[in-house]
Structure 1
Amino acid sequence: MTVKDLKPTNVWSIFDEITKVPRPSGKLDKIRQWLVDFAKEHNFEHKIDAVGNVAMFRPAAPGYENAKKVVLQGHMDMVAEKVPTSHHNFETDPIETVVDGEWVRANGTTLGADDGMGLALALAALLDDDIKCGPLEVLATVDEETGLTGAINIKSDMLQGDYLLNLDSEDDGIITIGCAGGLESLVYFDYTPEAAPADLVYFKLNITKMHGGHSGSDIDKGYACATKQIARLLYRLEQKFDFRLARVDAGNLHNAIAREAVAIVGVKPDDKEKLSVELNAYIADVKNEYKATEPHMEVLCESVEKPATVIDADTARRIISAAYVAQHGIYSMDHDIKELVETSTNFASIKTLEAEKTIYIEHFSRSSVESRKYELAGQIEALYKLAGARKVDYTGGYQGWQPNVNSKLLADAVAQWEKLYGVKPIVNAIHAGLECGLFLQQAPHMEMISYGPTLENVHSPQERCHIPAVQKAWDFTVALLQAIACEK
């Protein structure tokens, strides 16, 4: 069975087409052209704004010209993550989808159902003439995964609606009405490269096969963070014997919990046994600490050739200490919504940029309280400045989405879910980022909700989409659009 054989056929067929179009964040020309071609093929009016967002419009069904206008919205980019053994090129290759029981996944890469499935649901609704409703707009935004660029730069002419249905949520039976804001902290350390001592032996320390996940929705799951773990290992070794650090690299994307980390170290031949002892003790500790959440985690050590240079000892010491102390995970919990994370940071990555003689570190902080977001970012900045960082910059800042519990749209959505499935949906706010708060800056009159079918392990190669939940999301979308059309 292939994806195109699944039900509802209209949604899965469009999703199948989307998976064939390369669309990693920052490389969206192909998916943008595909969307424009889709609009032209089906004779929908469309527009592209200055940053590359695409909107297409369907007029009201006869007799529904005065019904409320609805925007169906998703983002066109996907997180590009793959297993170490994959040769997939996200800029050229289609996603290889696999139907696995009640789930669809990809072969060794992210699936891109975040948010390709949201777009598929929106476009299927646009095509369905049996949905009798007012004017519809489908809005596809750019680079949501790397700073919400499309939403930050949106203008009101791209939001032609009274209601907005954001189709970028990941839990069946949950309607989201609020989210956290975010801010990236970019840290730069200069270092002096020195000739690698010839009297040392060199090893590559590799932390691999960690779970990873979404830096917002998974930050409370207890998954290990590769950036924190490599810093912890290096700090532990530093307390036992002298070594030289040639490079350290961990993590990839600001919104993904780091899954892999590598460091190259040089030790005295007489200290090889100490390295082995400390490494085995470290492995025993982390295997015990993370036995429930990281059953596949591996820590490997292999001999490597002498590198050309090492990082000067003073800078290496300061970076290891700062990274060891740096925060990762939950900072505070929400006092009003049970079990909701209020503020957190993801220690996203650490990179050795040899050409620039720079160590680059990135944190991504989230909070539903703007002041707490900046408080946490300020603590991160203070730590790294104390450690001698040359510069700490901020980027990608966006505000959260304040819940509106009195929304008529929300009331319609709850009623339709209960009518379809016999239970009330859960209504909540989330710690992950959504674009709705930014849309409200341009269109404060709009009422908004977010929902979608169940996705698991997004932002990691284990991402998968629950097939029965897609049918439910489609049926709910149809029922909600028709209920909105009948509002008095």
Structure 2
Amino acid sequence: MEFIVSDISQLSPRPVWAFFDQICAIPHPSYHESQLAQFIIDWAKGRGLAVRQDNAGNLFIRKPATPGMENRKGVVLQAHLDMVPQKNENTDHDFTRDPIRPYVDGEWVTADGTTLGADNGMGMASCLAVLDADDIEHGPLEVLLTTNEEAGMDGAFGLEAGWLTGDILLNTDSEQEGEVYMGCAGGVDASMHFPLERQAIEEDLARFTIGIKGLKGGHSGVDIHTGRANANKLLARFLSHHLDDVDMSLLAIRGGTLRNAIPREAFADIAVPASQKDALAGAVDRFATLLQDELGRLEEQVTLVMESTDNATNPLTRAVQSRLLAALNAAPNGVVRMSDDVPGVVETSLNLGVINTEEDKITALFLIRSLIDSGRENVQSMLQSLASLANVNVEFSGAYPGWKPDPDSEIMHIFRDTYEGIYQRKPDIMVIHAGLECGLFKQPYPNMDMISFGPTIKFPHSPDEKVNIDSVGHYWQQMQAILKAIPVKTA
């Protein structure tokens, strides 16, 4: 099957790029995967493949072994259906209705002002390309496409025993060609809620929006160690530091869109006495200079804006404002501890991903990650203590386990040997500080042997996301080699 939607469908290997191009053409952000799922169901049925869907929305597609390989161990190829919806502020795009607009940029494919969805669209495209191929040798084959991985791993949580029969699972959600993953971090969501009280102000106040923009953002797991700035933390820092200098009153605060993306932008609506407008502008200018000095080598585009706003709501009471800003400013963020067992890998981290003002409360959303349960529990305790000091509530939800490395993994050895045979060099065997679904798959399928690999994807979860064209070819070649090398099932 070949789809011609944009120029990327002509790239090599064409089977993978053609499917990825079609995936880009169908909106599929988290919670809105049904249109893409239906396309795949219809395509699979048209191809004569057995396809099922469970109560969680996960898709299961089965393909018989190629002749002569019926006695091999069964393989499950796995990807997730959804993508992270992030766009630049000046990009007009509705992720629930508009297609992604991919284009070739030198050695990379990227998108016009939005996330590309190579995470995990490239993996999904390769799974479909294997199903579509008549010239790839493989044993009994299943494809599992899960729902809502990016916003809560709902599909993986909902996966039940008995739906899969394979012995080996190849997760396609890694982002560096030449690396193979055999373990990942677990995580938990934290929501801190600040009840709102507002005060009536008779004085005529000048009202402004203070914004921090232009940060790189990125994945709150794989990019957390890079030192990229968090817009929510920077805004809380500014507001806390200048709260009394200019008699500032907070009307609303908002920043970030996803708890698993490092926030690139954050905004606060504030009010000050008209006589202090110049003092506020001076504080904004000084903080902008400070950020350039601190972050200029990494965050070249960081900017602060100060604009008039028509937000006419009454400001928060001083007590609520003080507790809120103190808590946001004091909240831990970023790397908490590096791993002792896996050099160079983050053990424990957290990301203050979203701040949102609602009618009766302000909510701050965090994502905690850790390779070990005790690390995750330590950060939960830190946030619980912070909430107690601020006299607010914090809730923890959606905890998911990590994926413990198995040094005796058969499929890991197969990957290493086939990769070295193709490229005459060893792959890097890794543990990733991000939430792969493999840890959850181990609960209903504890004996399934698993690895994760994929092409090179840079800046996932941000509008700078891009996938390296050559790496897709290497990844595709490696996948075919692994499928051919799957051993005979002896029991």
TM-score (norm 1): 0.97
Distance 1:217 1:262 in 2: 25
Residue 370 of structure 1: how far off its partner (Å): 0.7
Q: Does 1:281 align with 2:320?
A: no
For residues 400 and 158 of structure 1, the distance between their equivalents in structure 2, rounded to whole angstroms, comes to 22
**2:435 counterpart letter in structure 1:** G
Amino acid at match of 1:360: T
* Cross-structure match for 2:410: 408
Matching residue of 1:292: 297
CA distance in 2, matches of 1:424, 1:80: 35
What is the SS of the residue equivalent to 1:168? Answer: coil
Match of 2:31 among 21, 26, 30: 26
Does the CA-based 8 Å contact 1:196-1:307 persist in structure 2? no
Question: Aligned pair 1:319/2:324, yes or no?
Answer: yes
2:397 match: 395
1:328 counterpart residue number: 333
Residue of 3, 12, 26 corresponding to 2:17: 12
1:332-372 Cα distance to aligned partner (Å, 9 max, x none): 11001111000000011111112xx1101111000001121
Q: What residue number does 1:479 align with?
A: 481
Given that residues 80 and 145 in structure 2 are in contact (C-alpha distance below 8 angstroms), is that contact kept between their aligned partners in structure 1?
A: yes
Match of residue 373 from structure 1: 376
CA contact (8 A) 2:75 2:168 kept: yes
3-state secondary structure, aligned to 2:399: strand
Deviation at 1:61, TM superposition (A): 1.6
| Residue in structure 1 matched with residue 3 of structure 2 by the alignment | none
Identity %: 39
- Residue aligned with 1:157, SS: coil
| Alpha-carbon distance between aligned partners in 2 of 1:284 and 1:326, rounded to the nearest angstrom | 24
Q: 2:186 aligns with which of 177, 181, 187?
A: 181
What is the CA-CA distance between 1:197 and the residue it aligns to?
Answer: 4.4
Superposition deviation, residue 278 in structure 1: 1.9
Any conservation in 1 of the 2:350–2:367 contact (CA below 8 Å)?
Answer: yes
Q: What is the 5 A alignment of 1:213-224?
A: 213-224=218-229
**Structure 2-normalised TM-score?**
0.97
Counterpart amino acid of residue 449 in structure 1: I
Name 1:172's counterpart in structure 2. 177
| 1:306 Cα offset (Å) | 5.5
Q: Partner letter of residue 118 of structure 1?
A: G
Structure 2 CA distance, aligned partners of 1:197 and 1:211? Answer: 41
What corresponds to 2:274 in structure 1?
A: 269
User: Number of aligned pairs?
Assistant: 485
Residue 253 (structure 2) pairs with residue 248 (structure 1) = yes
C-alpha displacement at 1:485, in angstroms? 4.7
Counterpart residue type for residue 466 of structure 1: N
2:460: which partner in 1?
Answer: 458
Kindly indicate whether the alpha-carbon contact (under 8 Å) linking 1:230 and 1:261 is maintained by their aligned counterparts in 2.
yes
User: Matched residue of 2:442: which SS?
Assistant: helix
Separation in structure 2 between the aligned mates of residue 137 and residue 210 of structure 1, nearest angstrom: 41
State whether structure 2 residue 157 is matched by structure 1 residue 152.
yes
The offset of 1:234, in angstroms, is 0.2
Give the C-alpha shift of residue 199 in structure 1.
2.1
Contact 2:73 2:488 in 1 (8 A): no
The answer (yes or no) to whether the contact 1:22–1:90 under 8 Å persists in 2 is yes
Which residue does the alignment assign to 2:385? 382
Q: Does 1:231 align with 2:236?
A: yes
The answer to whether the aligner puts 1:425 opposite 2:427 as a matched pair is yes
1:363 aligned residue: 366
Alignment partner for residue 141 of structure 2, among 136, 141, 155? 136
Match for residue 38 of structure 1 among 24, 40, 43: 43
Q: Call closer, same or farther: CA 1:256–1:197 in 2, change over 3 Å.
A: farther
Unaligned runs of 5+ in 2: 1-5
Structure 1 unaligned regions, length at least 5: none
- AA matched with 2:369: R
- Aligned mates of 2:235, 2:39 — CA distance in 1: 41
* TM-aligned CA deviation for residue 276 of structure 1: 2.2
Superposition deviation, residue 396 in structure 1? 1.7
Please, which of 304, 309, 313 is the counterpart of residue 314 of structure 2? 309
Q: Shift of the alpha carbon at 1:198?
A: 3.9
Tell me whether 1:443 sits opposite 2:445 in the alignment.
Answer: yes
Per the TM alignment, residue 304 of structure 1 is displaced from its structure 2 partner at its CA by 2.6
Q: 1:486 to 1:479 in 2, by over 3 A?
A: farther
1:48 to 29, 45, 53: 53
1:239 and 1:195, CA in 2 relative to 1: closer, same or farther beyond 3 A? closer
Amino acid at match of 1:468: D
Matched, 1:203 2:205: no
- Provide the rounded CA distance (Å) in 1 between the counterparts of 2:311 and 2:439: 51
**How big is the shift at 1:375?**
1.5
